[in-house]
Structure 1
Amino acid sequence: MAGVPVKCGTIVSFCFVLYAVYFRKNDLGDVRLSPVKDHLLYLESENKVGEGKLQPKVALGYGACHDLFVNATSLLDHKELKGNPEHFNEISNKEEFLKSFAYFFKHGAAAERFVSNGKLYDELIEQALKLPDSRWAIGGNAPLMAKRFYIEGWKVLFAAKMSKNLRKYIPKDIEIVGGEENEEVKDDIHMILEYKTDETFGTLKAPRANRYIVHNDENNPLLSSLEKFDEHLPGFGPNLLVISGLQMMDNYPFKIGDGKDLRAERLDLVKKQILSQPLSTLTHFEMASYVDLELLKHLTTKILPFVDSVGMNEQELTNLYSVLEYGEVSVVADSNPRVATALDQMRKTFLLIRRQNELYESKRKLTRIHVHTLAYQAIMTVKNSNWKRTEAAAAKASLTAHRYVCNSQDIALDKCKLLLDDSFSTTTDNDNTSRVFFEPTKPVSCWDEEINGEYVDICVAPVLICTEAQLTAGAGDNISAAGLVLQVEK
């Protein structure tokens, strides 16, 4: 892969899995699909997870829920939408719900919002259950990532308070901690409003398949499984600790009494939990859709300075960079950003978090960023860090993106497309002369850079986009976990 190193300062490794935007066709379709698929599968087959004494162990927190999947445009009537689409930090009535959904629908952007009106939420759930194609599944970042790690051969511990009914969705070999024995638990319900590419809502058309999530959680925002998780971590001895589900705190009405901020106190306990782990245990923070600026600022001071790795999609990357650089929330971003744009934001975000490492005198330094978009997977790792096999990890994440969204282990070329051009620029800098040429027979492109005195590896790989999407919610969790699967070795 020919690429000119970009002088940025610290050296990290980036791995991107890319989709092709302009694709060459013959009578059979895009001629690049077959060689791309073959090489991605080759990289996956040549890189295995350790077994026996070499089996890696992962511990994940926090929370779980029941996901209720519905077709968004079947549940909602566009005729009830009065006025223009609009963004709201939380949903308090039906008008705000419709405007908020429409806002993200027209951008094809994923979003998650807290519904403060319990009566409205119960009514929506009741309506959704009447739809013939509504279905239940387990939800939450931690359990979905836990299942992916388990499928890929890891030993798994995860923290959540769950009912016996919800536990049935989890493989028996996964250890669940968080509640008391025989404790009666009422599961939180998240409603997942899914839509497909080009689906319409009145005059609006979705530019890509995605989902809009609403919840009225009572259990997950409090991270109620945290203390039990703490008790089990020393005995489990994980190689990797994953922090996720903190977006459940977003705009949740925490009661602040006696001048105390309960949310800040709970996040301080998360920080303490991370710091209690030996430096040999790698830590990963999974970003999500956040709009509460106060919570985001807490994350930049209590969580991000103390983790080794961060995973996110293109919307979350833009938001995280905006908060770190400008102290502002970015509600929506380009749903299919150029590779150069994402790379630039990753570099800047890396430097900003590294500054936080120094400011808070953290013994850990950020050494990995994984960004997944519709068109590509991007993994950046610092050279000589504890993260291994970045090229293979990008390929694994790409394959998982297709398999999960198509809901099939088989990769059928007639259900694939690429959104990656024949070449791409590595930065948007005006004086940049570096271009990477996409080679179908070696699709994961990797190169070295220097970022502020640190050397990093950058890899970019194409995703075989599933053209017949079956699942959207949970894709990011599965992709992020798959990206980590091959990067941790005992």
Structure 2
Amino acid sequence: MAGAPVKFGSILSVCIVIYSVCYRKNLTGDERLAPVKEHLLSLERENRVALGERQPRVALGYGACHDLFVNATALLDHRMLAGEPRNFNEISNKDEFLKSFAYFFKHGAAAERFMSNSKLYEELIKQALNLPDTRWAIGGNAPLMARRFFLEGCRVLLAAKMSATLKKYIPEGIKVVGALDNEQIKDDIHMILEYKADEEFGIYSAPRANRYIIHNDENNPLLSSLEVFKENLPSFGANLLVIGGLQMMDNFPVKSNGIDLREQRLELVKEQITTQPPEVLIHFEMASYVDLTLLNHLTRLVLPFVDSIGMNEQELSNLLNILEHGQVSVVADSNPRIATALDQMRKIFVLIRGQNEKEGSTRKLSRIHVHTLAYQAILTTRRSKWKRTEAAAAKAALTAHRYVCNNDNIALDKCKLLLDDSFATTTEESSDNNKRVFFEPNKPVSCWEENLGGESVDICVAPVLICTEAQLTAGAGDNISAAGLVLQVERSI
């Protein structure tokens, strides 16, 4: 008799699962999408950025560039591809370029590579400028995030060396330090090769819309705005310091007279971070890193001293691989299961917490934001200064759709959901954190509490209303990360 209640409870649980699945399958597209949209919007409306004296102050570094957007398959001829696609950490000729592009294209994976062949790079730019849909925009992690913070109501300080022409892309309300009032500086140019879902390149088809970035930077690798940023930070009184653009240091004259110059510059970044007042939150924005030495520097000089990390699914896998195995992960699943991503986030949280202790850091990692095509996942510790995690996940999800569609209005006929009717919170069945969460259209943002290494954390997962007519891909992650942060930072009076 003692086993009867358990048996009955199990049967009841199974019935609930079957009912829930059948009910959801009967929902039409709009019946599922409309309540998701309305609830995400209501969370956004109820959690606006404080203005006036409580308006958050955000400082961002380093660097900027001129982005040249071009249709990838219009620029590149698949018939010139000789041999199998493969990864190259650095591009030196046309053959490597085509193979590298095709490798990431067939996976639908974002990538960023340095082209050491300056002559080839200039030729590609000339070819791109002859295409009808090519356009210019400002680029770089810091400028794109800065503009998003400003649009969302924050006061912003941006450190970036740029020409007067490039500065014109920056909203006037953003304070820029490091810009020149003349045209003496030659702005770095990044070529953004965009492609849409199901687009073809020879025998290969893209599983999702994405972009491949190639650059030949001269200014950004040097972090040339670092010193002027240091001079302006104390008077600005930031609530949040955002560090990005360090991936550009892959093209750095590493050693001179036996001295690692890149490590020297990163030591100064560490100093800039560690000298901030304890009330200033520090966020590090990951990117497409392939240089193992640079990544090792980051895990020792930067990551142990920040409060927050933001990244996409490719960068998530790469960071975990570096922390666990000391190896670079070139490509990962472009649409990972929620359980898989959450497991990776948990491992990174515990590993960096260990580094906090090892490096004697006064800061402990308290926030991780992972943005993917299908969902936003944010982890925050319960006793941290980060606020409104549920609303932040919703805001990030809305920004993902708006940015990619290049439209503030969310039209249901341009939306789709990739989330299943339910998801597991971990792939480890024996874990204490193992449970199944049902997706509710009327309450689409799922949040729960867990214990990680003795620390109570909140995890929130929000579905993305995926834009089915992608207009923009490059810069999406920067805008999404900034949107997720903007509601979590409050100014103390």
Write 1 or 2 for the structure with the bigger share of helix.
2
Distance 2:71 2:181 in 1: 37
What residue is the counterpart of 1:479 in the other structure?
480
Distance 1:452 1:65 in 2: 41
The structure 1 segments of at least 4 consecutive aligned residues displaced by more than 3 Å after TM superposition are: 22-28, 179-183
Contact 1:23 1:30 in 2 (8 A): no
Q: CA deviation at 1:198?
A: 0.3
Distance 1:137 1:358 in 2: 42
Distance 2:381 2:178 in 1: 34
Distance 1:27 1:235 in 2: 55
What residue is the counterpart of 1:263 in the other structure?
262
Provide Cα deviations, 1:104-153, integer angstroms capped at 9, x if missing partner. 00000000000000001000001000001100000000000000000000
Q: CA deviation at 1:276?
A: 1.3
**Percent identity of equivalent pairs:** 74
What residue is the counterpart of 1:9 in the other structure?
none
Contact 2:167 2:179 in 1 (8 A): no
What residue is the counterpart of 2:97 in the other structure?
97
Contact 2:198 2:208 in 1 (8 A): yes
Distance 2:332 2:375 in 1: 16
Larger deviation, residues 435-444 vs 174-183: 174-183
Considering Cα pairs closer than 8 Å and 6+ residues apart, tell me whether 1 or 2 has the greater RCO. 1
What is the letter of the counterpart of residue 242 of structure 1? V
SS of 2:161's equivalent in the other structure is coil
Q: CA deviation at 1:30?
A: 4.7
SS of 1:161's equivalent in the other structure is strand
Structure 2 runs not aligned, ≥5 long: 1-21
Matches for 1:182-261 after TM superposition, within 5 Å: 182=182, 184-250=184-250, 252-261=251-260
SS of 1:121's equivalent in the other structure is helix
Q: CA deviation at 1:256?
A: 1.6
Distance 2:26 2:153 in 1: 40
Contact 2:165 2:183 in 1 (8 A): no
Distance 1:61 1:48 in 2: 25
Alpha-carbon distance change, 131 to 360 in structure 1, aligned in 2, over 3 angstroms:
same
What is the letter of the counterpart of residue 160 of structure 2? A
Structure 1 runs not aligned, ≥5 long: 1-21
Distance 2:409 2:179 in 1: 38
What is the letter of the counterpart of residue 428 of structure 1? T
SS of 2:162's equivalent in the other structure is coil
- The alignment's TM-score, normalised by the length of structure 1, stands at 0.94
Contact 2:380 2:389 in 1 (8 A): yes
Q: CA deviation at 1:181?
A: 5.4
Q: CA deviation at 1:23?
A: 11
Provide Cα deviations, 1:8-40, integer angstroms capped at 9, x if missing partner. xxxxxxxxxxxxxx9967796352100000000
Provide Cα deviations, 1:463-487, integer angstroms capped at 9, x if missing partner. 1000000000000000000000000
Provide Cα deviations, 1:70-112, integer angstroms capped at 9, x if missing partner. 0000000000000000100000000000000000000000000
What residue is the counterpart of 1:348 in the other structure?
347
Provide Cα deviations, 1:300-328, integer angstroms capped at 9, x if missing partner. 00000000000000000000000000000
Q: CA deviation at 1:430?
A: 2.9
Distance 1:148 1:75 in 2: 30
Contact 1:23 1:418 in 2 (8 A): no
What residue is the counterpart of 2:438 in the other structure?
437
What residue is the counterpart of 1:462 in the other structure?
463
Contact 1:40 1:396 in 2 (8 A): yes
Distance 2:421 2:343 in 1: 20
SS of 2:343's equivalent in the other structure is helix
Q: CA deviation at 1:184?
A: 1.7
| Matching of residue 287 in structure 1 with residue 286 in structure 2 | yes
Structure index of larger Rg: 2
Contact 2:240 2:282 in 1 (8 A): yes
Contact 2:349 2:365 in 1 (8 A): yes
Aligned-CA RMSD value: 1.5
Distance 1:275 1:292 in 2: 24
What residue is the counterpart of 1:124 in the other structure?
124
| Matching of residue 275 in structure 1 with residue 274 in structure 2 | yes
What is the letter of the counterpart of residue 122 of structure 2? D
